[in-house]
Amino acid sequence: MSGWLLSLEGTDQGRTLAMLLALSAAFLHAIFGALQKGRHDPWLSRGAIDFCYGIMAMPVALFLVPRPEPHMWPIFALCFAVHVVYKTLQGMAYVKGAYTVVYPVVRGTGPLFAMIGAVLIFGERFTWVQWAGLGVLLAGIYGLAAYNLAHVTVNRHTLVPALLFAVATGVMVAVYTTVDAYGIRATADPFTFLAWFFFLDGLVFPVVAAIRYRRMADPPAPGPLMLRGLIGGVIAYGSFGTVMLATRLDSVGEAAVLRETSTVFAALIGWVLLGESTGPRRVALMALIALGAVIVEAGG
C-alpha cells in the first residue's frame, strides 16, 4: 500500500487522488465537528474520541508499521503540542458558541494561513486565479458566519468570546496543517506517521475528560458517550488521516482549501441533525464556498 501510494507522488493520478482525499476529509470533518459539539459536553466527547482512536492506533504503531526514524521524534513532539493547543481552543469555542457560527470561522481562518505557510515552508506557488478562488471561498465562509451571527439565538451572550476562540482555533488549524504535512513528508512510510500520530495524539484529552467527568454533579451515561467516541475515532482516521495523505501527494495549500468545503457540509449537518436554522441566503453563501474551492483547484 505504501509503495503504491508513494509511486503516485508528483503524478496526475496522485493529484486526482489528493483532491478526492481532501474532499472526503471535508465531509468527514464536518461530521466529526458535529459529534464533538452535539449531545455531550465537548470536552467529554473529545476525550472519548481521542481515547478510541488512540487505542485503535496503538497496535498498528507498535506492531504493524515500520519504526519511526530517529529524526521523527522531535516532529512528533511538535505535532503533539500543536494539536493539544488546537483542541483546547476548539473546545472553548464550542462551549461558548453555536456550531454553525463557530465552525465557519474556524475553517475560514485556516486555509488563508495554510496557503501562506505552504508558500513560506514548502516553496509552493499559487496562481492569481487560485488566490482569487481563496478570496471567493473566504467571502462565502465569513459571510456565512456573519449571517449566522446576526440570526442565531443559541448562546448569543457568549458569541464574542466564541468568535475570538474560533479565530485562534483557525490559526492553529493552519499551523497543524503545515506541521502535519511536514511530518508526513519527513518519513519514508506515511502510514508510520499516521499510526504514531494517532497513538500519541490520543494520550492527553482522555485524561482531561476523565477529570471533568468525575467532577460533574450529573455525569452522562458512559455507554452512549463511548459509542460517540468510537464513531468519532473511526471518522477521525478518514478526516485527519486522508487530508494528511493528500498533503503528501500534492499541494499542501490546495488540500487545505478543499478541506474547508467542510463548512458546506457542517451547515447542512447543523440544519438537519442539530436543528439549527437555514435559508436561501445561507444556501447561496455555501454555494460561494464551493465555487471558491473549485476555482482554487481549477486554477492550479
Q: Mean pLDDT, to the nearest integer, of 33-46?
A: 72
- Residue 285: other Cβ atoms inside 10 A: 23
pLDDT, one tens digit per residue, over 66-117 is 999 999 999 999 999 999 999 899 888 877 877 767 777 777 777 777 888 8
85-104: b or e for each residue (b if 16 or more CB lie within 10 Å)? ebbbbbbbbbbbbbbbbbbb
Nearest 5°: the CA angle 275, 280, 284 is: 110
d(CA 172, CA 289): 21
Q: Mean pLDDT, to the nearest integer, of 260-266?
A: 72
Label residue 277 by pLDDT band (50, 70, 90). Answer: low
d(CA 46, CA 51): 8
Q: Mean pLDDT, to the nearest integer, of 30-50?
A: 77
Query: Does 21 reside within a domain?
Result: no
Name residues whose C-beta falls within 8 Å of residue 82's C-beta, 6 or more positions apart in sequence.
Answer: 172, 175, 176, 179
Residue 279, domain extent: 42-249+264-298
Query: Does 168 reside within a domain?
Result: yes
Extract the C-alpha cell encoding 18: 489528493
Query: Does 23 reside within a domain?
Result: no
Label residue 137 by pLDDT band (50, 70, 90). Answer: confident
Query: Does 8 reside within a domain?
Result: no
Q: Mean pLDDT, to the nearest integer, of 45-70?
A: 94
Q: Let me know: does 139 contact 197? Beta carbons within 8 Å.
A: no
Query: Does 37 reside within a domain?
Result: no
Query: What pLDDT is recorded for position 244?
Result: 86
Q: What is the 3-state secondary structure (H, E, C) of the chain?
A: CHHHHHHCCCCHHHHHHHHHHHHHHHHHHHHHHHHHHCCCCHHHHHHHHHHHHHHHHHHHHHHHCCCCCCCHHHHHHHHHHHHHHHHHHHHHHHHHCCHHHHHHHHHHHHHHHHHHHHHHHHCCCCCHHHHHHHHHHHHHHHHHHHHHHHHCCCCHHHHHHHHHHHHHHHHHHHHHHHHHHHHHHHCCCHHHHHHHHHHHHCCCHHHHHHHHHHHCCCCCCHHHHHHHHHHHHHHHHHHHHHHHHHHHHCCHHHHHHHHCCHHHHHHHHHHHCCCCCCCHHHHHHHHHHHHHHHHHHHCC
Q: Which residue has the higher pLDDT, 194 or 177?
A: 194
Query: Does 258 reside within a domain?
Result: no
Query: What pLDDT is recorded for position 170?
Result: 86
Query: Does 9 reside within a domain?
Result: no
Q: Let me know: does 110 contact 177? Beta carbons within 8 Å.
A: yes
Domain count across the chain? 1
Extract the C-alpha cell encoding 178: 503545515
